[in-house]
Amino acid sequence: MVQIAQQIRQSLDIDDVLTTTVAEVQRFLQADRVLIYHFEPNGTGQAIYETVLPPYPKILNQRFDEEVFPTAYHQAYALGKVRQIADIEQADVEPCLAAFVKQFGVKAKLVVPIIQNAHEDEGPEAPKEGFRQSGVNSDAIAQAPVLWGLLIAHQCDRTRDWKDWEVELMKQLSTQVAIAIQQSELYNQRQQLNTQLEQRVVQRTTELATTNAALEEEVRERQHTERILRQKK
């Protein structure tokens, strides 16, 4: 776990971080598929990184409606719930969900949330309807953890009884991934601000150069006019 975590922390490039994560987790757990699922603000989502062994189908870049992860699931994962299913056929799984995952050959799965803390600079949101009367503090709502996505391992060739250390590994790595994502986002924001600042400096320098050139031209015209006037006297 320490070795994988170090590899995750070696780069600020989010593509490198998430590609490394799914590859190393798949190799370490010997799972048939490991993917990172990212939630969009509208509740839809897609698998944005994946390592899968043949002959199992790829899920990468497939977009899923919000019904795939209903509100109750979303809220539970946002609170840190881990879901481990040893046997899709035998577990207490909704028939629609069981049918959904079986189309990808899944027989067992382990799902761990990737949770980020709210950014400090986002500021408090307006309280949602119903919270004003309930006495819930709007600042607390604004600072609530954000469910960024899920780290998911699939076993397709057989059922699998997930071990405690495997669950703990996934939980710790999901925390490392959440930190890496946030660091990468902050780094990119800083790079964008630096680029904007450089562009403003270049723009201001150009404006000053243009202004100076215009002033120099005006001075030359005045000097020329003064010479002509002196010659006429």
For residue 146, tell me if it sits in a domain.
yes
Dihedral, 170, 171, 176, 179 alpha carbons, nearest 10: 140
Q: How far apart are CA 222 and CA 159, in angstroms?
A: 91
Q: How far apart are CA 6 and CA 159, in angstroms?
A: 31
Q: Does 177 map to a domain?
A: yes
Q: For residue 202, is it within any domain?
A: no
Write the CATH number for 122: 3.30.450.40
Give pLDDT, residue 111.
95
Among the listed residues 123, 124, 173, 125, the one whose alpha carbon sits nearest the alpha carbon of residue 149: 173
Q: Tell if the pTM clears 0.85, that is, is over it.
A: no
Residue 233 lies in a domain: no
Residue-level pLDDT at 143: 59
**Structure token digits, residue 65:** 């409606």
Split the chain (233 residues) into runs of 10 and give each run's mean pLDDT: 71 84 92 95 89 94 80 87 91 76 92 78 38 41 76 96 94 89 79 81 84 83 78 68
- Is 16 in contact with 28 (CB distance < 8 Å)? no
Name 190's Cβ contacts closer than 8 Å, sequence gap at least 6.
none
Q: Is residue 62 part of a domain?
A: yes
Residue span of the structural domain in which 82 resides: 2-188
Q: What's the pLDDT score for residue 118? A: 56
User: Helix %, strand %, coil % for the chain, to 5?
Assistant: 55, 15, 30
Residue 171 lies in a domain: yes
* Per-residue model confidence as pLDDT tens digits over 108-117: 999 999 998 7
CA dihedral for 134, 79, 105, 181, sign (positive or negative): positive
Which contacts qualify for 206-209: CB closer than 8 Å, 24 or more apart?
Answer: none
In a domain, 184, yes or no: yes
pLDDT for res 50: 96
Number of domains composing the chain: 1
Spatial separation of the C-alpha atoms in residues 177 and 21, rounded to whole Å: 8
- List the 146-155 sheet strands across, edge first: 63-64, 45-52, 33-39, 146-155, 108-116, 83-85
> How far apart (Å, rounded) are the C-alpha atoms in residues 147 and 132?
24
Assigned token pair, 75: 């809220």
Residue 209 domain flag: no
